Amino acid sequence: MTEWLIFTGVMLLGAMLPGANTAIILRNTLQGSRRRGFITALGLATALTIHVILSVIGLAALIESIPALYTAIRWLGSAYLIYLGVVYLATRSDAKTESAEKSSGHPFIAGMMVSLFNPKLLIMFVAIFSHVVAEIQSVTMQVLYCATPILVELSWLSMIILLLSRPAIQRWLKRVRVKIERLIGGGLVLLGIKLGLG
C-alpha cells in the first residue's frame, strides 16, 4: 500500500504541473461556465484512460519503437496546440465570448485532443506501467493502479474548476479575460513548438 501512496503522490505532482491540460481548463472555465470546465476535464480524463489502456496492452511501447509513428503523433499534437494557441491569441473582447466558444470547438473534444496527442504522456505511462503494474500479482491492485492517474487528474482539475468558477473570482476573471486568454494562447503556442521540436 505504501508503494501505491507514493505512486499516487507522483501522479498528483504530475497533474499539478502547469501545462496544456491546465491551460485548456483555465480557458474553458474562464468562459464563465463551470459546465464547460467539467466537460473539458472529462475529455482530458478520457484521453488519459486511453493512454493507460494503450500502455497496459503494450501498444504504447510499439508506438515508441516506431519512430515515424511517434513523430507523426508528436507533430499532430504540436499542430493542435499551436492551433488552439492562435485561436486564443485572436480573442478581442468580452463581447466575443460566444464566437470564441464556437471557434475553439466542443470542450470534450478539445480536452481529449490536447491530452491524446501528447506522446510524452504515452512514454511516461509506458515507463510507469511496464515496471509497476507488471510486478503486481493482484488484479484488484492492478485496476487500482490503472484508475489512480485518471482519478487524480479529475480530482485536481475539478478543484481548479470549482475555485475558478466562484462568483468573486469569475467577476475578476471576466475583467481580465482577454489578457489571460492571450497569455494562455501564447503558452499553448510555445508548448506546441516545444513538443514539435521534441
Q: DSSP 3-state helix, strand, coil percentages of the chain (rounded to 5)?
A: 85, 0, 15
Contact 88, 103 (CB under 8 A): no
As a whole number, mean pLDDT of residues 84-98 equals: 64
Instruction: Record the pTM.
Output: 0.73
**Cα 197 vs. chain centroid, distance in angstroms?**
19
Cα 139 versus chain centre, distance: 27
**Which of 14-28, 40-54, 87-101, 137-151 has the highest average model confidence (pLDDT)?**
40-54
Q: Of 163, 198, 176, 178, whose CA–CA distance to 22 is shortest?
A: 163
